[in-house]
Amino acid sequence: MVLNVNPARPFGALLTAMVTPFDDAGKVDIEAARRLATWLVDRGCDGILVNGTTGEAPTTDDAEKAELVGAVVDAVGKRVAVLAGAGSNHTGHAERMAREAVAAGADGILVVTPYYSRPSQAGVVAHIQTVAEAGGVPTMIYDVPSRTGVRVSPEAYGQLAEHPLIVATKDASGDVAAAITLAASTGLIWYSGDDSMLLPFLAVGGAGVISVAAHAVAPQFAQVFAAWDAQEPARALEIFRSVVPAIKAINGAGMQAVMAKAAVQLLGVLPNRDVRAPLTPATEQEVADLKLGLEAAHVLPQI
């Protein structure tokens, strides 16, 4: 376990929300997942999130999730923190996923606010606390109102921060102004859940990012963190600007799992870009547009 090597960044600074590879028969490709996790860490990621939205968690079953955690922990768990999603709008189901992820070796769990059900803030608090206790490991809240329909309120954040296992949040609300006060008032460690908001969140005290674009731009993002930590914000901005075309190409259409998987196929890491229904693989035109973005960011050589 590598968690808490740096208490200010308990899960690392640059975490990739890793895609879940599938083989030609539609099964989770465990060996490809090992290779992908290792490749991401070799390129500068100091944390890996498995079984998140980008990992197509809604369409992988519990046994697949646990096997995937175990494979990634085996591949990179001695080098970086491995965080596992335990997200469901069924609290009991999320509890089981948390226990199974920890049994498979996860260093921490990510708990999204219950989606679709739209519970009260009391329900949000009870759900996240219950799942954290089931896992028994450091826990990160995932606040993504665009997907769940529910935002964590300041009062709920305050209650959750009192729980000893709840140490951080992945904030995908885009509300930097709220993060300024919430991070200070709660003491939670703040991670950006949106690639494009990395620098604004760092500027207000954020610890890092849970990234989709890092599938393609991990080395550059690692350089952004190095420059920021060296108190060279202008240099951090320069590096970040250089990869904006890639960030837009992967995230712009809101199909992160689809486009991130297409990106790593273009980069030669995965043999295919297969996804599970209801997602559909990137079309040839979408791949062509993605390729242009990656080329503009100098991630792929221009031909």
- Quickly list DSSP for 13-39: SEEEE----B-TTSSB-HHHHHHHHHH
pLDDT class of 303 with cuts at 50, 70, 90:
very low
What does the mean pLDDT of the chain come to? 95
Write the pLDDT tens digit of every residue in 261-275: 999 999 999 999 999
Of 65, 170, 261, 291, catalytic: 170
How far apart (Å, rounded) are the C-alpha atoms in residues 113 and 141? 8
How far apart (Å, rounded) are the C-alpha atoms in residues 177 and 156? 17
> Is residue 13 scored above 60 in pLDDT?
yes
Is residue 191 annotated as part of the catalytic site, yes or no?
Answer: no
pLDDT value of position 102: 98
> Is residue 231 scored above 80 in pLDDT?
yes
Q: Token digits for 32? A: 């490809």
pLDDT value of position 5: 57
How far apart (Å, rounded) are the C-alpha atoms in residues 43 and 45? 6
Q: Are 224 and 243 in contact (CB under 8 A)?
A: no
pLDDT value of position 254: 83
For residue 176, CA distances in Å to 42, 88, 159, 192 come to 31, 26, 20, 9
Q: Are 215 and 264 in contact (CB under 8 A)?
A: yes
pLDDT class of 6 with cuts at 50, 70, 90:
confident
pLDDT class of 260 with cuts at 50, 70, 90:
very high
Distance of alpha carbon 76 from the chain centroid: 16
Looking up tokens 């960044």, which residue turns up? Answer: 9
What is the pLDDT averaged over residues 28-44? 98
What is the pLDDT averaged over residues 145-166? 96
> Is residue 4 scored above 70 in pLDDT?
no
* CA within 13 Å, CB half, 72: 35
Q: What is the pTM of this model?
A: 0.95
Q: Are 291 and 245 in contact (CB under 8 A)?
A: no
What is the pLDDT averaged over residues 223-250? 98
pLDDT value of position 93: 97
How far apart (Å, rounded) are the C-alpha atoms in residues 99 and 300? 40
Distance of alpha carbon 187 from the chain centroid: 21
Is residue 170 annotated as part of the catalytic site, yes or no?
Answer: yes
Of 6-10, 57-61, 204-208, the least confident: 6-10
> Is residue 2 scored above 80 in pLDDT?
no
How far apart (Å, rounded) are the C-alpha atoms in residues 190 and 179? 8
Q: Token digits for 301? A: 């050589």
For residue 86, CA distances in Å to 82, 111, 195 come to 13, 5, 22
What is the pLDDT averaged over residues 114-133? 96
pLDDT class of 42 with cuts at 50, 70, 90:
very high
What is the pLDDT averaged over residues 172-188? 94
pLDDT value of position 8: 86
Closest CA to 103 of 61, 62, 135: 135
Looking up tokens 């519990």, which residue turns up? Answer: 62
Number of Cβ atoms within 10 Å of the Cβ of 257? 22
* CA within 13 Å, CB half, 266: 28
- Domains, in order of start, for the chain: 14-230 (3.20.20.70)
| Residue 289 burial (C-beta neighbours within 10 Å; 0-12, 13-18, 19+) | middle
